[in-house]
Amino acid sequence: MMRGERDEIPPGTLEMLILTTLATGPPRHGFEIAESILSVSEDVLQVEEGSLYPALQRMLLKGWIQGDWGKTDENRRARFYRLTAEGRRQLDREVDRYRRVARAIARVLATA
Amino acid sequence: MSLSQWRRRLAAILGRDRAASELEEEMRLHLELRTRQLREQGLAPEEAGHAARRRFGNELAVHEASAGVWGWTAWERLLGDFRLAFRNLYKAPGFTAVAVATLAVGLGMNVAVFSLVHAVMLRSLPYAAPERLVSLWEESFKGEPSQFTTSGRSLGGDTSAQRTTISPANLADYAGSPAFAGLASFDVAAKNLTGLGTPERLQGEGVSANFFDVLGVKPAVGRNFLPEEDRDGAAGAVIITDQFWRNRLGSDTNVLAHSIMLDAQPYQIVGVLPPDFQSPYQLTIPDRVEIYVPAAYPRELLTSRGDHEVNAVARLRPGVSVRQAQADLDVISASLGKQFQSTNRNIRAGIAPLRDDIVRNVRQSLWILLGASALIVLIACVNLANLLLVRATRRQHESSVRMALGGGRWSRVLQFLAESLTLAGGGCVAGLGLGFLLMQLLVWLAPQNIPRIQNVTMDWPVFAAAAAVALMTGLVFGMIPAWQSSQAKPAEALKTSARSTGARAQARWRSALTAAEIALSLILLVGAGLLLRSFVRVMGVDLGFQPERVLAVGVNLPELRYHDADRRLSFFEELERRVTALPGVQAVTFANRLPLRGGWGSGAYLESSPDVMRDADFQAVSPGYFETLGIGLERGRLLVHNDRKGQPHVAVVNQAFARQFLSGADPIGRRFRRSSQPWVTIVGVVNDIRRGGKTDDINPQVYLAAAQTDLYPVRLADLAVRTRSDPRQLVNAVQRQVWAIDKDQPVTNVRTLEEIISRSVAERRFEMVLLIAFASVAVLLAMIGIFGVLSYIVNQRMGELGIRVALGASPGRIVVMVLQQAGWWIIVGIGAGLAGAFTLARYLESLLFEIRHGDPWTYAAAVALLLAVSLAAALIPARRGAKVDPMTALRYE
């Protein structure tokens, strides 16, 4: 681990990014998810793209996403992830929570 | 975590290889795609590969993180803990063997007793919806009812004087209650079987037509009884057991075409019961019931409310509770009491769940045995905890090093728990094996009158209970040393050497545990002592007659061929004459029933006080009765051959008769009679006997001359032979003499009186032997405990003792010093044990005979024994302490 080289990502951010990515468009495999997240946020995955995979496993276990094996355009075997109903609810909850926290922080900063 | 998450997690653990390879494949694809993309952006191929890998991060770390997500890591750590525990235990075979053996003994004894308790008291009865089956009886309250006779044998044997079998006339009223879906009656109906090999007397039951329907049993072949078959005078019908069908009819498929001869009357076979069927009565007796016939009560019985003759079983309607049914019966009993003042005034019907009712006489002793075996488990656990503590102490140094090197306390605790759980698992398996053997020993030892004793097996509830106890043991008693060792302070411990052991707290723990062991063993010792003393008392009771070398046989003459009393009398007189002539015979007698074999209680009125009915045991006996049984004449004369029909009616009574009914006045010459029968003159007094056996009361006895009892409702049925040597050798000869008179007449219930006595105390012997065994094991375990703790303490003080010896302390002084240290917790243990024993012993009260549960001699003896044993166990390490060579001891430091 390369600690201290950059700001720590708040826990759960990666999961939220994955949920957001999968919320729109067709099911995607790991590399596509990574690319999509990279285009949104350079920071999060810049250091270790590999950390995407344990996160995917965790979300599979929690039942937020589902992974089905299929073929890519180039006929390579890959696991395609898509959101489950539970995952969609989780995303809504996360977004709500984020907005609440953000508003609270904004208020705190405004009074400072 | 939700259920589906658990399921996915479990799937991941089970399918981990596939999951890992899938992850690998995903990661490979990712790297390849990234490499290609970078190459397309202009990087050199080699450079692109490196850059892709750099951006991806540590692949191994990704694998590990994923494994953590799926719970593989925790799983693996757990496996690792157990693997290490196993290896550690394997390296300490002595400790492991003692620990596993201790636990196995405790669990094994418990498992054996529990399987007995489970089979006898807890398992459902083998009928459809057994929880709705209830047993019915009648009980007299507030003194006696005005007219009351019974010869019925009630289910499970009777201990309460008030409880009795039911009058069939009342039963019809009870059956009318809406609480019951069905109510059936049954009673013992043994019959002589002829025409199928040697004549035999079969154990049988006379049952109401709906008996099998109420139990929810359908014959495997044929049908249940029809109501018209259950009528007095109906043609004989019989339902046979599977055993009868196989053994006596050779599994004949055409069985329904047969009829069999019972008591010289043909009975048509209408059904064969399923192989596993056991009637409620069968569950309470060891002999096999082979035939069921319709009860077909005679009309006079069906109208006589004072005759309490039958047992009943009922099925409650769904949703009706026992309490509701009882309330309903109370109403019916009350209204019958008003309607039939003379017979029913003080009678009420009682019910209880059939399963509980069957075991009511053995329930308490079984609970006590289970309690005692639970104490054994507790002692075994304490011992195990003690052993684990020693081990933890020895490994204090190891713990300290591990912690100093960064090992967490929690992981150390887990390590110890893994070890104690592994031990518990081993103990559980060994305990189940030992328990299985002990269970068979127990069944073999157990008195045959324990219901369902033959059905004792080890099954899942027993396994589950054993596993639960073992798991608890492992967790709870493994926790103490685990916690202890996690308290290790690395810095301090490292200062001391590897073999020295510091913690004073541990010595305290171990002393407390040993005191607990002593207390628990004292409780068991007191229990065993009380039962032992009580048993000795029972065996010491004088019966008043001499049962040695007396053989008793039953000859039940069937009504059809011997319907009048004269024919029965001449049969028995002929038999007596023939048996007397046999070699080795000293004396012969016949009677309705011999002592220990049931009897005929009845009431009579003395001429001097004609208003009071006197209850006594009545019997019809031949003149040789007193000589054969060794009953002595006190006054007057015995019965003689001349006391026959046509002569004045005479009787011999015992001393209790004179004491209780005549205030000790001389009974000779006085007269009594049973209701309207002729007056009988008392001509002699014999000594008292305990007719029902060792623990029976001494009751008034009336011996009538058998030749003068044709007017009484009494049947001659028993023959007794006093022999010069082993009475068993005469069995065949007696049987041949019976067949010489009547080739169709079976001989039954062949027992020596000593065998009967031995059986009658079997239950007491069983309880006593078991409790003594438990107490012995407990004391042995306590000895191991004391020995262990003191050895440990002596080891700990080796250096100090060495200095003392070097400074001139005598060996005797050292021994006393060590013993003093042991002394206080031995005393604490004994004090606690006395308190516990005194509290618990009251539950033994009902099993004791002429001994109070607080019997001081028993307590004193138990304390003395335990003190002696404790001292002996303490002396070995104490003497070792005294023999310390100062030089060796000092070199330890």
**Of B12, B26, B58, Cβ closest to residue A79:** B26
> Does the beta-carbon distance from A46 to B55 stay under 8 Å?
yes
Chain B residues with beta carbon closer than 8 angstroms to that of A34: 30
Closest CA to B397 of B323, B479, B493: B493
> Over 50: is that where the pLDDT of B159 sits?
no
Q: Residue B87 and residue B589: Cα distance in Å, rounded?
A: 74
**What size, in residues, is chain B?**
893
Shortest distance between the Cα of A18 and any Cα of chain B, in A, equals 16
Shortest distance between the Cα of B39 and any Cα of chain A, in A, equals 16
Chain B residues with beta carbon closer than 8 angstroms to that of A53: 23, 26-27, 62, 65-66
Q: Is residue B276 part of a domain?
A: yes
Q: Model confidence over B79-107: pLDDT tens digits? A: 888 888 889 888 888 888 888 998 899 99
> Could you give the percent of chain B with pLDDT greater than 70?
94
Q: Is residue B107 part of a domain?
A: no
A70-103 b/e with 16+ CB inside 10 Å = b?
eeeeeeeebbbbebbebbeebbeebeeeeeeeee
Chain B residues with beta carbon closer than 8 angstroms to that of A49: 30, 34, 55-57
**Of B29, B58, B62, Cβ closest to residue A31:** B29
Tokens coding B73: 């890591």
Are the C-beta atoms of B215 and B127 separated by less than 8 Å?
Answer: yes
More confident residue, B147 or B713: B713
> Does the beta-carbon distance from B69 to A31 stay under 8 Å?
no
Closest CA to B515 of B173, B869, B200, B828: B828
The residue whose two tokens read 């029976």 is: B696
Closest CA to B680 of B725, B637, B728, B647: B647
Q: Residue B412 and residue B416: Cα distance in Å, rounded?
A: 6
Mean pLDDT of B408-421: 81
> Does the beta-carbon distance from A51 to B62 stay under 8 Å?
yes
> Does the beta-carbon distance from B65 to A77 stay under 8 Å?
no
DSSP annotation string for B831-862: HHHHHHHHHHGGGGGGG-SS--TT-HHHHHHH
> Does the beta-carbon distance from A78 to B22 stay under 8 Å?
no
More confident residue, B145 or B649: B649
**Of B5, B58, B65, Cβ closest to residue A63:** B5
User: What is the pLDDT at residue B503?
Assistant: 56
> Over 80: is that where the pLDDT of B157 sits?
no
Q: Is residue B472 part of a domain?
A: yes
**Of A30, A46, A69, Cβ closest to residue B30:** A30
**Of B12, B29, B34, Cβ closest to residue A78:** B29
Judgement on whether residues B351 and B367 belong to the same structural domain of the protein? no
Q: Which residues contact B243 (CB under 8 A, 6 or more apart)?
A: B275, B288, B290
Chain A residues with beta carbon closer than 8 angstroms to that of B21: none
Domain that holds residue B66: 3-70
**Nearest residue on chain B to A58, judged by CA atoms?**
B69
Q: Is residue B91 part of a domain?
A: no
Residue type, B837: A
Q: Is residue B653 part of a domain?
A: yes
> Does the beta-carbon distance from B57 to A29 stay under 8 Å?
no
Q: Any chain B CB within 8 A of the CB of A107? A: no
Number of separate domains in chain B: 4
Judgement on whether residues B211 and B262 belong to the same structural domain of the protein? yes
Q: Looking at residue B149, what DSSP letter applies?
A: B
Final residue of a structural domain among B709, B741, B773: B741
User: 31-90 in A: which are within 8 Å (CB) of B?
Assistant: 31, 34, 46-51, 53-54, 57-58, 60-63, 69, 76-79
Q: Any chain A CB within 8 A of the CB of B59? A: yes
Q: Residue B563 and residue B15: Cα distance in Å, rounded?
A: 82
**Of B4, B8, B65, Cβ closest to residue A54:** B65
**Nearest residue on chain A to B22, judged by CA atoms?**
A79
**Nearest residue on chain B to A70, judged by CA atoms?**
B26
Confidence label for B599 from pLDDT (cuts 50, 70 and 90): confident
**Of A31, A57, A63, Cβ closest to residue B69:** A57
> Does the beta-carbon distance from B69 to A61 stay under 8 Å?
yes
Judgement on whether residues B325 and B235 belong to the same structural domain of the protein? yes
Shortest distance between the Cα of B65 and any Cα of chain A, in A, equals 6
Final residue of a structural domain among B337, B358, B379: B358
pTM over 0.80, yes/no: no
Chain A residues with beta carbon closer than 8 angstroms to that of B58: 48, 50
User: What is the pLDDT at residue B302?
Assistant: 84
> Over 80: is that where the pLDDT of B567 sits?
yes
User: What is the pLDDT at residue B135?
Assistant: 94
Are the C-beta atoms of B181 and B316 separated by less than 8 Å?
Answer: yes
Final residue of a structural domain among B21, B43, B70: B70
Chain A residues with beta carbon closer than 8 angstroms to that of B16: none
Separation of CA B173 from chain center = 36
**Nearest residue on chain B to A57, judged by CA atoms?**
B66
Judgement on whether residues B262 and B335 belong to the same structural domain of the protein? yes
Judgement on whether residues B331 and B375 belong to the same structural domain of the protein? no
- What values do phi and psi take at B683, rounded to 5? -115, -10
Chain B residues with beta carbon closer than 8 angstroms to that of A48: 55-58
Judgement on whether residues B238 and B344 belong to the same structural domain of the protein? yes
Chain B residues with beta carbon closer than 8 angstroms to that of A30: 26-27, 29-30
Closest CA to A50 of B58, B24, B37: B58
Judgement on whether residues B594 and B619 belong to the same structural domain of the protein? yes
Query: How distant, in Å, are the alpha carbons of B104, B617, B672 from that of B610?
Result: 68, 19, 9
Q: Is residue B667 part of a domain?
A: yes
> Over 60: is that where the pLDDT of A71 sits?
yes
Q: Model confidence over B680-729: pLDDT tens digits? A: 999 999 999 998 888 888 889 999 999 998 878 788 889 999 999 899 99
Chain B residues with beta carbon closer than 8 angstroms to that of A77: 25, 29
More confident residue, B490 or B143: B490
Across chain A, mean pLDDT equals: 81
User: 558-597 in B: which are within 8 Å (CB) of A?
Assistant: none
Q: Model confidence over B172-213: pLDDT tens digits? A: 899 999 999 999 999 988 888 988 888 888 999 999 999 999
Query: How distant, in Å, are the alpha carbons of B53, B163, B203, B756, B769 from that of B731?
Result: 99, 37, 20, 16, 32
Q: Residue B719 and residue B554: Cα distance in Å, rounded?
A: 6
Q: Model confidence over B761-803: pLDDT tens digits? A: 888 888 899 899 999 999 988 888 888 778 877 877 777 888 8
Judgement on whether residues B693 and B807 belong to the same structural domain of the protein? no
**Of B5, B30, B55, Cβ closest to residue A61:** B5
User: What is the pLDDT at residue A42?
Assistant: 63
User: What is the pLDDT at residue B444?
Assistant: 87
User: What is the pLDDT at residue B76?
Assistant: 80
User: Could you tell me which CATH number the domain at A13-111 has?
Assistant: 1.10.10.10
Confidence label for B805 from pLDDT (cuts 50, 70 and 90): confident
Q: Any chain B CB within 8 A of the CB of A2? A: no
> Over 70: is that where the pLDDT of B267 sits?
yes
Judgement on whether residues B481 and B567 belong to the same structural domain of the protein? no
Judgement on whether residues B644 and B657 belong to the same structural domain of the protein? yes
Q: Residue B290 and residue B296: Cα distance in Å, rounded?
A: 18
Q: Is residue B781 part of a domain?
A: yes
**Nearest residue on chain B to A46, judged by CA atoms?**
B55
Closest CA to B686 of B705, B708, B668, B709: B668
Across chain B, mean pLDDT equals: 86
**How many CB atoms lie under 10 A from the CB of residue B257?**
9
> Could you give the percent of chain B with pLDDT greater than 90?
37
**Nearest residue on chain B to A49, judged by CA atoms?**
B56
3-state SS, residue B803? helix
Closest CA to B456 of B692, B112, B742: B112
Judgement on whether residues B403 and B453 belong to the same structural domain of the protein? yes
Judgement on whether residues B368 and B347 belong to the same structural domain of the protein? no
